[in-house]
A = this chain, B = another copy of it.
């Protein structure tokens, strides 16, 4: 029970800390760890690391610089746990694996469940992947290799292969006796999956119902109302959606013949949901796959393409402006005001597209409501456009004297905010139809529209009204 008292102590310590920082690494603990490394005191390092969860140790390694990381790993030595590797961000996982002594690595990997090993090796380069597969026991290696034959990001990669199942004709007593005689039940399981003679899953019984029922009750009378079967090739993002939508706790995975081959549990689905969200946010911001731990070169490389796309759209907008050089030279106030129209359009467009992209991801934007949503966004653009038109019309008049410039910027504002609502909804929907991830590409397209329309409407109207 030593472990809980540690945990309780820790939460008491935590309660004295800043309300938002319970689960962030304690800076003084980090300082003590670095001190232990500085003086090369292995006992002290181990003692300091002891209360940390593997996920916290992984965070510590991620937040350390490469020099400290190497020193911590070398001093920590054989204490290094396989779970730390699982928790590590991919960007430094290869580096850490390279730092581990081969025997420590072998020991760490052998502790892991086969699904964690799959997660660990799938992104490694071939020679590191082989090095890890070699140290596994034969049966584990076969299991891992088989999982790797399923497509990346599929249910097959996500599932555990250890399944607790029972024939559908068993009663509670038979199931309990069976469980008692099993030597290697999985670490975590919540349901017994009932299967028919051809190994097709037909229902789930929770362990709670099993424990609360008399021995002679048939398992088939205890099955959960919600039972959801997942094909082994299904995309993990769809799996996470199903868990979230239907409040699943675990779900059986079947092969192409509908035979039970594994089980996915909610903790794995939650991790995927988290990753998918992260990906959406990063894609919406044009940051690609990069994270906080990437090196300068990787980060530059990941962000460059989005900036390059933006440069092209910015040049496009400049070409529009260039058509109006004559009138700008005459009325420099146009140059002063024109970025306002484009900027407001860009912001309104980003608002619309973000709502649309999220609604597509959560399957809330479908054929049956797309026209209503488009109409709503256009109306919102119109109303906000009219309000800001009045504001900017007055600003324009006061700033530059005379009403003409006020009318022009007001009209351009309305036009651009309506276009922003329209483009911000239609573009993600069309991209999705075309099979392109709307989170990835909508931003560039929508901004191009609002920049081009904004500059063209403002300068074009100015040319008509002022000349």
Binding site for B on A (CB under 8 A): 1, 3-4, 7-8, 11, 15, 19-25, 27, 30, 53, 55-56, 59, 62-65, 176, 179-180, 182, 185-186, 188-190, 202-203, 206-208, 210-212, 214, 220, 223, 225-229, 231, 234-235, 238, 241-247, 249, 266-267, 269-271, 273-274, 277-278, 280-282, 284-287, 290-293, 295-296, 299-300, 303-304, 306-308, 310-311, 313-315, 317-318, 321-322, 325, 328-329, 332-340, 342-344, 347-348, 350-351, 353-356, 358-359, 363-369, 372-373, 376, 379-380, 383-384, 387-388, 391-392, 395, 451, 455
Q: Which B residues are CB-close (under 8 A) to A347? A: 286, 306-307, 310
Known: A243-B270, A304-B387. 11 other contacts (CB 8 A): A24-B366, A56-B245, A59-B364, A180-B214, A249-B267, A282-B354, A285-B355, A307-B347, A314-B344, A334-B335, A339-B342
Q: Which 4 A-B pairs have the closest CB atoms?
A: A285-B354, A335-B335, A207-B207, A277-B277
Among residues of B, the one whose C-beta sits closest to the C-beta of A372 is B65
Q: Which B residues are CB-close (under 8 A) to A23? A: 238, 241-242, 245, 363
Contact B22 A238 (CB under 8 A): yes
A193 to chain B, nearest CB (A): 11
Bound state CA distance, A335 and B351, in angstroms? 27
User: 21 A-B residue contacts at CB 8 Å?
Assistant: A7-B228, A7-B229, A11-B228, A22-B234, A23-B242, A53-B246, A189-B208, A190-B207, A190-B249, A207-B207, A210-B211, A211-B211, A244-B270, A269-B270, A278-B358, A291-B364, A292-B356, A306-B351, A310-B347, A311-B340, A315-B395
Q: Which B residues are CB-close (under 8 A) to A366? A: 24-25, 27, 63
